[in-house]
Amino acid sequence: MLDSKTPLVEMTDISISFGGIHAVERASVDLYPGEVVGLLGHNGAGKSTLIKILSGAYKRDTGIIRINGEEATINNPRDAKAYGIETIYQTLAVADNVDAAANLFLGRELTTPIGTLDDAAMESKAREVMGRLNPNFRRFKEPVKALSGGQRQSVAIARAILFNARILIMDEPTAALGPQETAQVGDLIKQLKSEGIGIFLISHDIHDVFDLADRLVVMKNGKVVGTARTEDVTKDEVLGMIIVGKVPARAIPGPGALSE
């Protein structure tokens, strides 16, 4: 039976190599409903590669993925979507020249019984989902290129959750945004969390995730250095994990932990 003790996602002993490079080596991470897990590490640490295995963009060499406690077969992005896994990348993947509703339904448009586009239904659903995420949003009739970065990101997030995503992967979602827009995305994340959606929040900057994440996973050279509840560690301790791989007392060491 499903309960809050069953992880939404359990990735165990995941490895993948490209040529001779171990991009990810024996990495294990998990995610619970309504939880934000921050995935941290320097450039090239293996963060994006690990989550691309979950989103179906890459196929792992070894390891097991469980979704809601059951072993999952994820060989491509379509498989991942069928498990309720959606991904938001740093490059805002929105179509600039059409409005919010058109973006939400891009490639999965609603049609009327006679086969024409059901614009009224799409706009009404867009207003409902955007209203949940960003109640102040009013600019439904404008092409999204006219929107602010934060508003555009809320369109991308609405698109991801429209089809009932339970697991959201956000890879550097604020990389292209200013401080005010970054704060807006933070509010969106809190809203999604309150709806029970689990979120992997990836960043190479601790400041982006420290205030939002319930737990932190640090990677270095393709390996997990350690996992900690955010409330159990200081920013300096997390920096120590990122930079030298030193794991503080209240964190759980992984295969990449510095051995003394």
Ligand X SMILES: Nc1ncnc2c1ncn2[C@@H]1O[C@H](COP(=O)(O)OP(=O)(O)OP(=O)(O)O)[C@@H](O)[C@H]1O
Catalog residues that contact Mg ion under the rule CB under 5 A: 48
Distance CA 42, CA 12 (A): 22
What residues does 65 pair with on adjacent strands?
11
207 counts as binding ligand X under rule CB under 6 A? no
Taking the C-alpha atoms of residue 154 and residue 157, their distance in angstroms, rounded to an integer, is 5
Report if residue 45 touches ligand X, rule: CB under 6 A.
Answer: yes
Report CA dihedral (45, 50, 52, 54) to the nearest 10 degrees.
Answer: -160
77 binds, among ligand X, Mg ion, none (CB under 5 to 8 A by kind): none
* Between 52 and 166, CB nearer to ligand X: 52
> Smallest distance, Å, CB 49 to Mg ion?
8
151 phi and psi angles, rounded to 5 deg: -65, -40
User: Per CB under 6 A, does 46 bind ligand X?
Assistant: yes
Give whole-number Cα distances, 257 to 56, 85, 227, 243, 246, in Å.
Answer: 27, 29, 10, 11, 6
Closest to 203 in 3D by CA, of 216, 189, 190: 216
Near ligand X by CB under 6 A: residue from 125, 132, 204, 246: 204
Q: Which does 248 bind (CB under 5 to 8 A by kind): ligand X, Mg ion, none?
A: none
**What residue 87 binds from Mg ion, ligand X, none (CB within 5 to 8 A, per partner kind)?**
none
Q: Which is nearer to ligand X, 21 or 117 (CB)?
A: 21
If binding is defined by CB under 6 A, does position 153 make contact with ligand X?
Answer: no
Q: Per CB under 6 A, does 60 bind ligand X? A: no
CA dist 216 and 257 (Å) reads 14
Among the listed ranges 16-24, 117-125, 134-142, 177-185, the one in contact with ligand X (CB under 6 A) is: 16-24
User: What is the 3-class SS of 96-118, one letter each residue?
Assistant: CCCCHHHHHCCCCCCECCCCCEC
Binder of ligand X out of 2, 5, 20, 43 (CB under 6 A): 43
Tell me the HSE value of 77 on the side-chain side, using a 13 A CA sphere.
7
Interacting residue with ligand X among 44, 77, 143, 248 (CB under 6 A): 44
- Our CA angle for 193, 35, 136, nearest 5°, is 15
Structure tokens at 253: 């060491």
Q: At its nearest, how many Å lie between ligand X and the CB of residue 126?
A: 31
Name the minimum Å distance from CB 86 to Mg ion: 17
Using CB under 6 A, which of 48, 153, 154, 182 touches ligand X? 48
Given the rule CB under 6 A, which of 17-25, 70-78, 151-159, 239-247 is the region that contacts ligand X? 17-25
Interacting residues with ligand X (CB under 6 A): 18, 21, 23, 41, 43-49, 204
